[in-house]
Amino acid sequence: MNMSFGRRVSISSALVLVFAIGSANATAYSWAEIVVPGIGPVQAGGINDKGQVAVQSPDGSKAGIYRNGVFTPLPALPAGYKFTLVWGINNSGTVVGGVYPPTDPTHEQGFILVGSKYTFFSRPGWNNTEARAIANSGLITGYSYTDDLTTFAGFVYNPATGTFTDATPPGSGTGFSVTQGMNAAGRITGDGRLPDGTGRYGFIWQQGTLIKGTQQLAPFLAQVRIEAANTAARGINDAGYVVGFTNTGLGFVGSDSRGFVLLFPPGGNAPGNSVACEGINNFRQVVCGVSDVNGNTVGEFIGTPDTPDQ
């Protein structure tokens, strides 16, 4: 698969790409731990081109933006609201995620924070809506789900028009799945399930036709697996680099044209520990978390590539 404007694969015939990882490069990235005094372990999501990362405490009681060792709390939510997830941030500093509203505290809504103003939204026909990322275009990606956690549907939401576009891979929808990344070309990333609910795969999806000059890029949906493991894709940058993780505890970054490499933040290759990478910016900085065998957070880290993009 080529991320350039030469790509011409019909969406009706999904392409399964299985990538093997070479002996590459535990040293390809330098790592800085995200440490917020007074909060302890944090959960970290997206990173923008300014190096700002959306973070929160595990219980959702504290949330903010982290950059270069400085934590800036988000403005207080309206009375009665509670964060469920603070996960996406774009270059304008707009933050998105999920909340429980006081009028319906068991169902999740998406939120958008611009400056000090919160806006909340829910996808019609769904019990729960969670925003996961916001592109620099202002489009929001995320997913909706039923109360019994059996059915999931990805979406792209346009807050300017209040419209949702479904982004559930064909045949998916059962078992946990997410739509998360979006780059400047409108390509989205996330993960889906095979029709029987098994076989989790990362996806790279362009839902519409792009035209650049006399060249045309037709819609496509590619399924990605790393080392034949169940795979989740998360962030994507404008050059087509994707980050994500596997069910075997491997974090990764790369593209089909440049290859994929494993990412090992401090503690990431210790026995029993696992790595999950969630965000990437246009400088190929990544955000990855390390957890132990019991799922406890070991640390969240920002990784910076040791060499510039070629």
pLDDT digits 0-9 by tens, 31-50: 999 999 888 789 999 999 99
What pLDDT is attached to residue 24?
41
Question: What would the pLDDT profile of 10-22 be if each residue is shown by its tens digit?
Answer: 333 455 666 666 5
- Average pLDDT, integer, range 194-202: 84
* 79 vs 101: CA distance, rounded Å: 9
* 56 vs 127: CA distance, rounded Å: 24
Nearest to 304 by CA among 289, 288, 292: 288
Q: What angle is formed at CA 84 by the lines to CA 42 and CA 105, rounded to 5 degrees?
A: 150
Instruction: For strands 140-145 and 53-56, give the pairing.
Output: unpaired
Nearest to 188 by CA among 165, 156, 216, 157: 156
pLDDT at residue 1 above 90? no
Nearest to 252 by CA among 22, 81, 91: 22
pLDDT at residue 242 above 60? yes
Residue 6 pLDDT class (50, 70, 90 cuts):
very low
- Average pLDDT, integer, range 82-98: 97
Residue 25 pLDDT class (50, 70, 90 cuts):
very low
Token code pair at residue 54 = 């959306």
Task: Average the pLDDT over each of 149-153, 179-183, 227-231, 256-260 and give the range with the smallest value.
Answer: 256-260
- Average pLDDT, integer, range 276-292: 97
Hunting for tokens 């790509």 — which residue is that? 7
* 156 vs 134: CA distance, rounded Å: 9
Residue 71 pLDDT class (50, 70, 90 cuts):
very high
Does pTM surpass 0.75?
A: yes
More confident residue, 122 or 212: 122
pLDDT at residue 214 above 80? no
pLDDT at residue 26 above 90? no
In the chain, which residue ranges form alpha helices assigned H by DSSP? none
Which of 55-64, 153-162, 174-183 is the most confident on average? 153-162
What pLDDT is attached to residue 17?
63
More confident residue, 113 or 208: 113
- The answer to whether the Cα torsion of 258, 265, 283, 206 is positive or negative is positive
| Beta-carbon-side half-sphere exposure of residue 51 (alpha carbons within 13 Å) | 11
Query: For the chain, what is the mean pLDDT?
Result: 89
CA 290 to chain centre: 16
What pLDDT is attached to residue 142?
98
| DSSP symbol at 39 | T
| CA quadruple 144, 146, 152, 158: dihedral, nearest 10 | -20
Token code pair at residue 301 = 């880290």
* 186 vs 189: CA distance, rounded Å: 10
Nearest to 19 by CA among 296, 213, 284, 261: 261
Task: Average the pLDDT over each of 24-28, 81-85, 265-269 and give the range with the smallest value.
Answer: 24-28
Hunting for tokens 């956690």 — which residue is that? 149
Helix (H) or strand (E) holding 180: strand 178-182
Q: Which residues contact 191 (CB under 8 A, 6 or more apart)?
A: 177, 178, 200, 201, 202, 203, 231, 232, 233, 244
Residue 64 pLDDT class (50, 70, 90 cuts):
very high
pLDDT at residue 133 above 60? yes
SS3 call for 124: coil
Q: Could you give the percent of the chain with pLDDT greater than 70? A: 90
Q: Which domains does the chain have, with CATH numbers?
A: 15-305 (2.120.10.30)
SS3 call for 70: strand
Residue 306 backbone dihedrals phi, psi, to 5 degrees: -75, -20
